Amino acid sequence: MTVLEKGLITIPAFNEAETIGDVVRGILGENLGCDIVVVDDGSSDKTAQVLGSLPVIVLSHPVNLGYGAAVQTGMMYAVRNGYDFLVLMDADGQHISSQVGLLLEELRRGNDIVIGSRLSGDSGSYRIPFLRMAGIRFFSFLAWVLGGVRIRDVTSGFQAMRREVFTVLSREYPVDFPDAEVVVMLGLRKFKVAEVPVAVRERQGGESMYSKFGTVLYYPFKSVLSSFIVLLRMLREK
């Protein structure tokens, strides 16, 4: 197995004062030996105050730039500070810190990026609404057709990746709704993408960025268009 040395857990956060404290304390309780960076993406609630009392690195955006920009900021920090691997988790409490080890085990087996799947095995009490499930299946199909990657839960934000992967993504990560686009990009670059079953919880507080009506309409259109653009760009580079 490959040895994983210096690791960083990255948590994008926007108005997650209700949950971010418990998320961080849960990670610390696992004694994973990883540093934790929280990217405060222009929160207008008390997220900054909560983070001020926690032993984490805080990177703050002056305004809300979007999920993808927050992830990219965390990845850029990991590149500049010499981390060997990065774990990406949500700030809303859905991802369970005890499951991080499952992702790292698959990373040690030689995979370049491991996605925690809500659709394989026992995902606990979490249930995905019908329309969102249909969207996940469609984008998983898109990632297979365009990128050659067979992943069931392509929209999962619970991921672990090697330095080679987050170095590339730190330069090219989409600003919003990166899901299928990123998997297509990694597949075309011949990275080894794997998934592992994980348990997840219902959101513990706040509001999902996918719950707004405008987002529901814009998300699939943008994801399909961006995935095709990635394919065309990669074909042009060959």
Where does the pLDDT of residue 140 fall: very low under 50, low under 70, confident under 90, or very high at 90 and above?
confident
Domains of the chain are 7-237 (3.90.550.10)
pLDDT of 172 over the 90 cut = no
pLDDT of 206 over the 60 cut = no
Where does the pLDDT of residue 216 fall: very low under 50, low under 70, confident under 90, or very high at 90 and above?
very low
Where does the pLDDT of residue 145 fall: very low under 50, low under 70, confident under 90, or very high at 90 and above?
low
pLDDT of 226 over the 80 cut = no
Distance, CA of 183 to CA of 171 (rounded, Å): 15
Look at residue 234 in the predicted model and tell me its pLDDT: 47
User: Is there a contact between 95 and 148 (Cβ–Cβ < 8 Å)?
Assistant: no
pLDDT of 138 over the 80 cut = no
Judge residue 60's burial from the number of C-beta atoms within 10 Å of its C-beta, 0-12 exposed, 13-18 middle, 19 or more buried.
Answer: middle
User: Is there a contact between 198 and 96 (Cβ–Cβ < 8 Å)?
Assistant: yes
Q: Could you tell me the strand order of the sheet in which 113-117 lies?
A: 57-61, 35-41, 7-13, 85-88, 159-162, 113-117, 193-197
Q: What average pLDDT does this structure show over 92-108?
A: 95
41 strand-pairing partners: 61
Look at residue 155 in the predicted model and tell me its pLDDT: 80
Least trusted range by pLDDT, from 36-45, 126-135, 145-154:
126-135
Least trusted range by pLDDT, from 67-81, 110-124, 207-221:
207-221
Look at residue 214 in the predicted model and tell me its pLDDT: 42
Q: What average pLDDT does this structure show over 165-175?
A: 88
Where does the pLDDT of residue 186 fall: very low under 50, low under 70, confident under 90, or very high at 90 and above?
confident
Look at residue 129 in the predicted model and tell me its pLDDT: 61
> Tell me, what amino acid is at 219?
Y
| Residue bearing tokens 């590149």 | 79
Those residues with Cβ within 8 angstroms of residue 3's Cβ, 6 or more apart along the chain or in another chain: 108
pLDDT tens digit string along 17-41?
Answer: 999 999 999 999 999 999 999 999 9
| Residue bearing tokens 């990177």 | 59
Least trusted range by pLDDT, from 24-33, 90-99, 146-155:
146-155
Look at residue 202 in the predicted model and tell me its pLDDT: 77
Give me the helix-helix angle, 179-188 and 213-237, nearest 10°.
10
pLDDT tens digit string along 156-166?
Answer: 889 999 999 99
DSSP secondary structure code for residue 90 in this structure? -
User: Is there a contact between 67 and 176 (Cβ–Cβ < 8 Å)?
Assistant: yes
- Whole-model pTM? 0.81
